Amino acid sequence: MTETESELTERLETVQDPANDEDIVSMGLVNDVTVRDGTAEVSLAFNAPYAPTEIEIGNAIRDEIEEAGLEPDLRANVGEEHGFDEDVLLGVRNVVAVASGKGGVGKTTVAANLAAGLNDRGARVGILDADVHGPNVPRILPTENEPGITPDEEIVPPRSDGVMVMSTHHMMPDDEDEPAVMRGPMVNNVMMKFVNEVQWGRLDYLVVDLPPGTGDASLNLLQTLPVAGVVIVTTPQEMAVADARKGLRLFADHDAPVLGVVENMSTFRCPGCGDDHSVFGDGGGDEIRDDYDVPVLSRLPIHPDFDSQGGDGPTVRDDESPVQEDLFDMVDTVADRIGEENRRQVAEHVDAAGKHAGDDVPAAVESR
């Protein structure tokens, strides 16, 4: 006998969200359950495509549906009903900022490999190079052509093996030594142009490579875009960690979810012997983790493969590189953290809505 929708919903209460230690029904992650012609259509408030944990939860849901004698049809849908603002960058599911307290810590390397790795996992990805004074993303993600213009004068970003790339590098003169001289208002104008006048289309992730520090570009991003999460990049050195903590505080003080810390140049991985050596000290990421209760997402080694000057593309796409696995681990961990934060926000919104509704219901009605 085929289970009813209410019975199937009860069955789904056994499926746990491992990151939040609650079942998916109590968290409000099940939007709707419909049983029709032997198929169970389940709409889920999932918003992190190709995140390993959401794939794991999805597989558990499929198992429960199949045990009920039904064919599973799972769909992801999260939006304004769960408190997610879609007024800005309509069609972009997750804006992921990559930031650092200071330059030279490998922030762009992390951002570009994150974008390429998510794309290789199957996601639709764009990357916005917001470091207008040092636009280096196209060095790691070389594009196949220049930006285009639509009849409506929107900018069409070029692609780098599937990743949409927008950078002030495309607007610079051919002389690569020519500096980008821009004062604060000009920086703001460029950022707003990239947000409002670029045809990003439908993306699962838009990675934003921010300039180092806590200046205008970072503040504008916080004030303009619905940021799903921020990745802080540092090296183990004391000064880099101190500046990374300031950057973290900026985002935390503006209620932007800090996904965690990537400790780049954590060790030197010798290409000859394969051993790791801590040449810049150690424990910097751990200090931030302990003081701010954010995870260390990844520890990336120093390795010659990260040198992007040859224009060979991101290391995450180099099947011969010994650090490719480290990068894909980072990609999966970041995607998981985005999903965890999104699901937590859905649960908080559902909980708040339930409490508000309870406050509005007369006591006589509640007691029935």
- DSSP assignment of 203-226: BSEEEEEPPSSSSHHHHHHHHHS-
Asked if 316 and 327 touch (Cβ cutoff 8 Å), the reply is yes
- Looking at the structure of the chain, the number of domains it has is 2
CA distance 337 to 27: 17
Is there a contact between 232 and 288 (Cβ–Cβ < 8 Å)?
yes
Q: Is 36 or 284 the better-scoring residue by pLDDT?
A: 36
Min mean pLDDT across 65-74, 197-206, 219-228, 332-341 is at 219-228
Q: Are residues 76 and 100 in the same domain?
A: no
Task: Kindly state whether residue 265 falls inside one of the protein's structural domains.
Answer: yes
pLDDT band at 355 (very low <50, low <70, confident <90, very high): low
Range of the domain at 55: 5-80
Considering the domain boundaries, does residue 284 fall inside one? yes
- Same domain? 130 vs 251: yes
Q: What is the per-residue pLDDT across 187-206, written as a single tens digit (0 to 9) for each? A: 667 777 888 889 999 999 99
Given the DSSP bridges, would you call strands 148-149 and 155-156 parallel, antiparallel or unpaired? antiparallel
Together in a domain, 105 and 164? yes
Residues 184 and 53 in one domain: no
- 338: closest CA among 53, 74, 11, 40? 53
pLDDT in tens, 233-246: 998 888 888 888 88
Domain membership flag for residue 150: yes
Q: Same domain, yes or no, for 155 and 237?
A: yes
Angle at 232 between CA 201 and CA 184, to 5 degrees: 70
My answer on whether 247 and 299 are in the same domain is yes
pLDDT value of position 57: 97
- Assess if residue 351 is contained within a domain: no
Residue with the bigger pLDDT between 132 and 298: it is 298
Asked whether residue 346 is assigned to any structural domain, the reply reads no
3-state helix, strand, coil in the chain (%, to 5): 40, 20, 40
Alpha carbon distance 299, 138 (integer Å): 24
pTM for the full model? 0.88
